[in-house]
Amino acid sequence: MTDAKYKRILLKLSGEALMGDQTFGISPFMIQYVADEVCSIVGLGIQIAVVVGGGNIFRGIAASSYGMDRASADHMGMLATVINSLALQDALEKKGVQTRVQTAISMHEVAEPYILRRAVRHLEKGRVVIFAAGTGNPYFTTDTAAVLRAQEIHAEILLKATKVDGVYDSDPAKNKEAKFVRKITYMQALERQLRVMDMTAISLAMDNRLPLIIFNLNQKGNIRKVVCGEEVGSRINN
Specify the CATH number for 8-237; select among 3.40.50.11810, 3.30.470.20, 3.40.1160.10, 3.40.50.720: 3.40.1160.10
pLDDT for position 188: 95
pLDDT for position 194: 87
Band (pLDDT 50/70/90 cuts) for residue 2 is: low
What digits encode the pLDDT tens for the residues 101-112? Answer: 999 999 999 999
DSSP assignment string, 61-102 = HHHHHTT--HHHHHHHHHHHHHHHHHHHHHHHHTTT--EEEE
pLDDT for position 62: 81
With 0-12 / 13-18 / 19 or more C-beta atoms within 10 angstroms meaning exposed / middle / buried, residue 125 is exposed
pLDDT for position 1: 46
What digits encode the pLDDT tens for the residues 146-201? Answer: 999 999 999 999 999 998 899 998 888 788 899 999 999 999 999 998 888 999 99
Average pLDDT (82-97) is: 98
The SS3 of residue 228 is: coil
- Torsion-angle region of residue 132: left (phi > 0), alpha (psi -120 to 50) or beta? beta
Average pLDDT (200-205) is: 97
The tally of CA atoms less than 13 A away on the side-chain side of residue 135 is: 18
In percent, the amount of the chain with pLDDT more than 70 equals 99
Its sign, for the CA torsion 29, 47, 225, 161, is positive
**94 pLDDT higher than 90:** yes
Average pLDDT (9-20) is: 94
Strands 157-162 and 212-216: parallel
pLDDT for position 65: 79
Band (pLDDT 50/70/90 cuts) for residue 231 is: very high
Q: What is the pTM of this model?
A: 0.95
Q: Residue 109 contacts by C-beta under 8 Å, 6 or more apart in sequence? A: none
CA dist., res. 231 & res. 41, Å (int): 17
Average pLDDT, the chain: 95
Q: Residue 117 contacts by C-beta under 8 Å, 6 or more apart in sequence? A: none
**116 pLDDT higher than 70:** yes
* Main-chain dihedrals φ then ψ at residue 161, nearest 5 degrees: -90, 125
What digits encode the pLDDT tens for the residues 27-83? Answer: 999 999 999 999 999 999 999 999 999 999 998 788 887 889 999 999 999 999 999
Average pLDDT (133-147) is: 97
Average pLDDT (114-139) is: 98
pLDDT for position 64: 80
In percent, the amount of the chain with pLDDT more than 90 equals 86
SS3 sequence of 175-214: CCCCCEECEEEHHHHHHCCCCCCCHHHHHHHHHHCCCEEE
CA dist., res. 149 & res. 214, Å (int): 17
Helices (H) and strands (E) counted in the chain, each on its own, are 8, 11
